[in-house]
Copies of this chain bind each other. A is one copy, B any other.
């Protein structure tokens, strides 16, 4: 299959790469062209997923696609941005029709759900499967939620349960193709289809003083807020929200470790003077880093090198 055929058959289809008011020109030219309303800015973020590093090589292509797009969309959520479109650089060992069909179905599912069409990219052949996705979103001028606005006295919140992403990993590694989908599906979906908190992020505009998505582990990620905002954070271990599924499978101690250092949660963690929604887990204090009262920590989040 030629590159152009492959793109036309699997990626350049109305359900995946539609044009809208913000996409002036999509797939098929030297560049895509995007419209940005004058009162808005563009937020962009890029994530790379590699076989047997970020997902099992033999995982379902549908699941690989949903994971790749969801984790990248999560960065838009963290800024309070509305998705506009995404680009895809995919390196494939070979061009297999069934694989590509399922992979594109996964992309379609998430693109439709978050109204984020494919607008361009590059398809190449290489020895291992590598997927880089860049998302583009719109945010009102000078309103993006960043990591640098936390103030001493603010409270620290998260948008939902933590630890499920890390708790899903052993299941996913044991059963990459999810043949036992019934028994493992609730947990494994946290890995393959984490829910980017797009609406939640938008609801924090003007409320949160800082925000990020929890991708590498709560403590490690909150340390970014500490560094960028020149503050400390005191977390209360008893307040960290844990799902019943996680507690039942792993017990309190392991579940809490996953929540604090595990990664792959894609919930939002943010600071605010006060916030009606969200789970209050700690406080912004004078200092330089995150401390946790109520437990011993081991490990320090996901290290890429």
Contact = CB atoms under 8 A, between A and B. Distances in A.
Interface residues of A, number: 66
A188 to B, nearest CB: 22
Nearest to A51: B126
6 contacts: A3-B305, A25-B146, A31-B79, A31-B144, A89-B132, A127-B128
Contact of A48 (B81, B124, B137): B124
Given A53-B125, A123-B304, A43 B33 contact: yes
A303 interface: yes
Interface centre among A31, A81, A142 (most CB of B within 10 A): A31
Interface in A174-190: none
Given A31-B79, A76-B31, A128-B127, A48 B2 contact: no
A88 B132 CA distance: 10
A242 B14 CA distance: 42
Interface string A20-35: 0000110011111111
Given A42-B36, A120-B46, A124-B53, A212 B30 contact: yes
Contact of A42 (B33, B91, B132, B148): B33
Contacts of A44: 31-32, 34, 87, 119-120, 136
Interface string A197-209: 0000000000000
